[in-house]
Structure 1
Amino acid sequence: MSERIHRNRFRKVRGRRWLVLLVLAMSIVVLAGWTADVPPANEPRYHGDPVGRGAGIGLVSGENEYFIASGNCYGCHGIDTMGVVWANHDAQGRDVNVPDAWRSTMMGNSARDPFWLAKVSHEVTVNPDHAAVLEDRCTACHAPLGRHNKHMIGGGLYSVGDLAFDLLGQDGVSCMACHKQRPDSLGLSFSGDLHFEHDRIIYGPFDEVFTGAMQSFLNIEPRFGAHINQAALCGGCHTLITNTVDLDGELSGDHFVEQATYHEWLNSIYGNGSSPANAITCQGCHVPRTGDGIVLAALYDWLTPRSPFGEHHMAGANVFMLELLKNNLNELGLTASSTQFDTTIARTTRMLQQNTLIMETSIADRDADTAWIDVDLINLAGHRFPSGYPSRRAFIELLVLNEENDTLFQSGRWNGAYEVIGHDPEWEPHHDVITSPDQAQIYEMVMGDVNGNKTTVLERAKEPLKDNRLAPLGFTSTHYAYDTTGVFGVPIADVDWNRTEAGDEGSGADITHYHVPMSGYTGAIRIEARVWYQTAPPRWMEEMFDHNTPAIDTFRTLFQAADGTPVLVKESLLLDPSLAVDDLRELGVRIFPNPTTDGTLWIDGLDVRTVSVELRSITGALVSTYAPRGQRLYPIVLPDVPGTYLLVIRTRDRSFARRIVRP
């Protein structure tokens, strides 16, 4: 911020300071009769959500019998532009207000999500006799303020038709969907069976609660609730179990776990209690804490700053849908601006790329016939990856190039329709070893119906035909929650899926072994490995897009116009010149010691044919270069950083290389 801006801001603050002092002076009489907790009913410290922040639509305001909309919360918890001490800002002056962070998330748009609306329409079209129950169950989590209010007043089942005319339902997973949940039911009920306070009570994470403003303006009593920071608060919707029907729509008596993100967390080092030092709740990642003290109510400058403050980023992995929402603000009637969506998209991308996976690519061995390449993934998420809705998948792309950048081998690339090349007609099995370009490692859940055939109709799902999604650290088949977090389609022969070298469960890792045919090629190779993520793979959409309803047609149009490029999660680059070893022997050159513990490497046998010696990183970046000038014995000093390096010796007509290791 420039000095001029600072001065202008100072003048504005100084110019209104007399007004602030006058207001304070006039309030002395009022304050004399004001208790610590209850301000006068006409206290003016409140402002509404500015209009025009998205598609010209402000946040939903109003209330029904039991819930209040997010727009009513904006007055105190939204952006503060008037206070002498700005509320809802951190120590650096950064705006951290909750509604503006939330409104561009998938949670904030859950009831307007066109994919969700299309999928509900798909399910109802396939089984129209189940429409009332299906729509009621789906809205329990996507439109909770409308659906649960109707149940709490005894109004019966809630429908998508109700939602179309219910602004509080359209408010999505709004403030009260979390902050009004009762603590005594958490972790005990799932599948949208949420339990709310009937009294006008909400909960927050801080004790010594200032109750005055909410009681005055909203007639609500805020209370301290430790459960607001517990993972079980999320479990009511993020474990979802459905009833299975056959192809005639008749109940089979089976149940299907559509998603179990909460139970996956329970079966991990972050939630199972086996490692208290590693305990992290859902909120620890998705509502990240800042240690700065934050004044929680706009214009209440005198309130004590509270910390740690949970920033309502709610970033997950759904970059594709966030982009689609941003690009269709007006059509979908959304309240967030494109700038706010960009912020959430950036946070979501960072979550995927920085907090999801560790990836390591290595060459186990190589000869003139085959290169044995391993891609090792370790899951850092507190649940499986991918997790949640069954359409989501991640896949590995491996590309092997020769010295001329010609492709020697490829696996996991995608075509112009964003579908993985080589994908089997129904589903791609899990691979421990990949030997052909028509094989690809895809981490996903594939649902099967009562006949054992693949389906994307949730109500027809009986059991997974495949579920090889990466397990979280600490995940075991002996945990009590394993019955809702099972593994399917991973062969027993794959001894490194979620297992350590000692054979113990809980590594949270998987190694895919690529046996790449070299066909006699002995030159240097370049190995590029990437992990990609897709929310809505084209093949998964086909069954739904075979139907025509207004909701499906709308989403089909938006989907086909969207950029379906998979989102990059991780990538690695590796150069391997190892087959030049025999040529070095023919050249009469010896390199020792390798590995080198002290960082000094000796090259013996250089002669006048040597033009230069280069030390490079494993990715090919030049570290240092040497001109031996005829010395037969020459020292090379490696950097202090442990790792694998490449030593390249160049003659007038050839280059030779050797991998060097500094432990």
Structure 2
Amino acid sequence: MAPPIVIALSLIPVDNQPIHFHSEAELASFRQQIQTNIKSRQFYGEIDPPHGMVDSNILFPTSRSCSGCHGHDPNMVAFMTSSGEDVNIHDDWRSTMMANSARDPFWRAKVSHEMLVNPAHSLGLQDKCTSCHAPAGHYQAKLKGNQPHYLLSHLYADSLGLDGVTCQACHAQSPKLIGTLHSGALNFDTNYIRVAYGPYKFVFAPPMHNFVGITPEFGEHIGDAGLCAGCHTLITNTVDLNGNYTGSTFVEQATYHEWLNSRYDETHDNISCQKCHMAQIPDPVVISANYQFLFAKFPFGLHELAGANMTMLKLMKANREALGIDAEAEHFDSTIAATLRMLQKQTLNLTLKTEDATGDSMHFSLKLENKAGHKFPSGYPSRRAWVEFEVKTTNGQTLFHSGKLNPDYTIVGENANFEPHHNVISTEDQVQIYEMVPVDIWGSFTNVLERCFMAIKDNRLTPQGFTTTDPAYDTTKIVGLGNDQDFNRFENQAEGSGADILHFIIPNQQFTGQLNVKARVWYQSLPPKWMDPIFAFSSPEIDAFKTMFESADQSPTLIAEASLDSVFVSTVPVKQPTTEELVQIAPTWSIDGRVQVTTPEGVRLHSIEVWDSGGKRLQQIFNLGSPTLLQLPANPGVYFVVVNTERGRVIRKVVKM
């Protein structure tokens, strides 16, 4: 009986498994079935070369060689969850930024831009950029072709390179040197590169070995965050405005190092990149089509690879044919939905509070707590987030609006060179933008990566557990905070909160009444100040991207929002009522919650209101006599008693013990 044999073989380490598990007749049957499956999906046509076996000179087979077994299963057995959802690896992957890293039109335009600015560095620039965006083509050319440089012209004619961050770019990485590499350096063991490391200890190897020529093995490092380090840490060599190297370096991005400087690293919570960006599901999942007798594996990591770049995903979806992308619109829809979930569910917590709503100004605080395992935003330095803060009357009149977006997707009030970090915002032309701002050797903002000399500002929200004493701080520095004592600080001033508290002190404008307050945090991956200098140049790559970008949806993504409704504000200070003798409220510190309100003879009470410190009205009582006994809510806290009389309004603060 077949199942007992399979059980025995699945428990044997891969090195001891016989290569000839199937008879020739079985192999022929399975090959035919795989070809039929692929034809039915109409993704690639027949597997090539014959029978799917990859030429031994090719170190990195393209994803098409993997899709026959790790794509959609027409029999609806493999990659099906308990709820009937198809979570096959290939379909989830092929609409991601990783899969399309080499077809990304912004990346191509940016490489072209750097080449035009510093043409003498063209070969080195292209070679460096393709090492991460086209790793299979790049390293195939280096390790097998002995090419000194892998260029865009090579990429455009190379199916390996065009496959982006393809399957084996991750699954063939060696455990040696993991987490120590950066700037496109990836370690592949050329003596044993036809291996695919996976997360499961018991491996059924013959199908992949026989059909593709790759041997699957368990590799604990496949779930290690260090697997991402080689490309998600980039250090560039700085040049002056004439293209001469200065001897300085610049940390263009250090997402992996940000993770090291967090509570999520291996020595603390040990939540790796993969655990968030390839979320695991508990359902047992059969991980190969065509083998209905295989045992299901769990947990299973979804290959959604969700990040944050909604703008480029939507742009590539709209230009699939022009970019040669094989993913269908529905695949992009799934990736876009996963990306939006990542941004709105796993990125920020917002807490909005009323501090003081009386007197000549209104005081609010907004706490932003980073939930990501790295800075937010992270990655390519154009990415930024900002706070929009709006105060309106209940009839819709705007009293204050900071962080408003212009029609051209710039932000109202932002400084041309860069907007400084704010601890307190009191005018509408001040806006809190969380970003990294690189400058050249003369201190001017630059979007030319080779010219980046230092960051004049980096107030991106740090991950929880981040400290300035961590060994990784030299590549993850906070810059330009001024005297902000709230940033990444707990109440006791210890580092590592991963939060920032932003204070708003807004002129009251002689308004008394109820207001609605709303705070929103927006994310923008390609702001105009980063795009305009690129579009000042012309090349086939820049011109093509400009056409796509100008017709694309450039709207920023809403990350989180918080609001306060019906906040009562008054020009009368709480601690200094205008007519002290007009109303007496006692006691102002109440244990049982009972408070007595008394007015002088001849002063008629119209109503009494009780508000909490968050700006919510809890009680409103009419037609009262004097004295009147109030019963405060049961919860201890600070309350405001508003007494409306025929001679005006008086507000008192009362504390319920």
Amino acid at match of 2:72: I
**What is the root-mean-square deviation in Å for CA atoms of aligned residues?**
3.4
Counterparts of 1:59 and 1:537 in 2: how far apart (Å)?
43
Any idea what SS the aligned residue of 1:378 has?
strand
469 and 660 in structure 1: CA distance in 2 versus 1, 3 angstrom threshold: farther
What is aligned with 1:293? 284
What is aligned with 1:559? 549
Aligned 1:135-150 pairs, distance under 5 A? 135-150=126-141
1:189, distance to aligned residue in structure 2 (A):
1.4
Counterparts of 2:623 and 2:296 in 1: how far apart (Å)?
65
1:502, distance to aligned residue in structure 2 (A):
1.9
From 494, 504, 523, give the equivalent of 1:533.
523
Runs (5+) with no aligned partner, structure 2? 7-16
Counterparts of 1:181 and 1:502 in 2: how far apart (Å)?
44
613 and 177 in structure 1: CA distance in 2 versus 1, 3 angstrom threshold: same
Counterparts of 1:171 and 1:643 in 2: how far apart (Å)?
60
What is aligned with 1:74? 67
Q: Deviations over 1:436-467 (max 9, x none)?
A: 21111111111111222211000111111211
603 and 94 in structure 1: CA distance in 2 versus 1, 3 angstrom threshold: farther
Tell whether the 8 Å contact from 2:19 to 2:210 is kept in structure 1 after alignment: no
Counterparts of 2:605 and 2:45 in 1: how far apart (Å)?
75
1:50, distance to aligned residue in structure 2 (A):
4.9
Counterparts of 1:107 and 1:371 in 2: how far apart (Å)?
46
From 207, 217, 241, give the equivalent of 1:213.
207
Tell whether the 8 Å contact from 1:618 to 1:644 is kept in structure 2 after alignment: no
1:81, distance to aligned residue in structure 2 (A):
2.0
Counterparts of 1:595 and 1:387 in 2: how far apart (Å)?
49
TM-score, normalization by structure 2: 0.86
523 and 104 in structure 1: CA distance in 2 versus 1, 3 angstrom threshold: same
Aligned 1:410-421 pairs, distance under 5 A? 410-421=401-412
What is aligned with 1:30? none
What is aligned with 1:93? 84
Amino acid at match of 1:529: A
Amino acid at match of 2:34: Y
1:156, distance to aligned residue in structure 2 (A):
2.5
452 and 65 in structure 1: CA distance in 2 versus 1, 3 angstrom threshold: same
Counterparts of 2:38 and 2:618 in 1: how far apart (Å)?
55
Counterparts of 2:587 and 2:47 in 1: how far apart (Å)?
71
What is aligned with 1:160? 152
Counterparts of 1:51 and 1:626 in 2: how far apart (Å)?
75
318 and 456 in structure 1: CA distance in 2 versus 1, 3 angstrom threshold: same
Q: Deviations over 1:79-117 (max 9, x none)?
A: 11215xx11111212111111111111111111111101
The reply on whether 1:258 has 2:252 as its aligned counterpart is yes
Q: Deviations over 1:149-181 (max 9, x none)?
A: 000111221010011111111111111110000
Counterparts of 1:487 and 1:257 in 2: how far apart (Å)?
13
The reply on whether 1:549 has 2:539 as its aligned counterpart is yes
TM-score, normalization by structure 1: 0.85
What is aligned with 1:8? none
261 and 507 in structure 1: CA distance in 2 versus 1, 3 angstrom threshold: same
Q: Deviations over 1:29-73 (max 9, x none)?
A: xxxxx969823333515357757979x777997756201111111
1:504, distance to aligned residue in structure 2 (A):
1.6
Q: Deviations over 1:412-434 (max 9, x none)?
A: 11100111111112111111222
Amino acid at match of 2:452: A
What is aligned with 2:28? 42
Any idea what SS the aligned residue of 2:161 has?
helix
Any idea what SS the aligned residue of 1:524 has?
strand
81 and 91 in structure 1: CA distance in 2 versus 1, 3 angstrom threshold: same
Tell whether the 8 Å contact from 1:319 to 1:348 is kept in structure 2 after alignment: yes
Any idea what SS the aligned residue of 2:263 has?
coil
Amino acid at match of 2:74: T
What is aligned with 1:187? 179
Aligned 1:215-364 pairs, distance under 5 A? 215-271=209-265, 273=267, 275=268, 278-364=269-355
235 and 647 in structure 1: CA distance in 2 versus 1, 3 angstrom threshold: farther
Amino acid at match of 1:148: Y
The reply on whether 1:151 has 2:142 as its aligned counterpart is yes
State the aligned residue count: 622
What is aligned with 1:504? 494
Any idea what SS the aligned residue of 2:22 has?
coil
Tell whether the 8 Å contact from 1:594 to 1:601 is kept in structure 2 after alignment: no
Tell whether the 8 Å contact from 2:354 to 2:614 is kept in structure 1 after alignment: no
374 and 242 in structure 1: CA distance in 2 versus 1, 3 angstrom threshold: same
Moved more, 325-334 or 452-461: 325-334
Counterparts of 1:314 and 1:508 in 2: how far apart (Å)?
24
Tell whether the 8 Å contact from 2:366 to 2:503 is kept in structure 1 after alignment: yes
The reply on whether 1:475 has 2:466 as its aligned counterpart is yes
Runs (5+) with no aligned partner, structure 1? 1-20, 28-33
Moved more, 294-303 or 159-168: 294-303
1:250, distance to aligned residue in structure 2 (A):
1.4
Aligned 1:474-623 pairs, distance under 5 A? 474-491=465-482, 493-575=483-565, 576-579=567-570, 582=577, 588=583, 590=585, 604=597, 618=614
From 425, 432, 445, give the equivalent of 1:434.
425
457 and 613 in structure 1: CA distance in 2 versus 1, 3 angstrom threshold: same
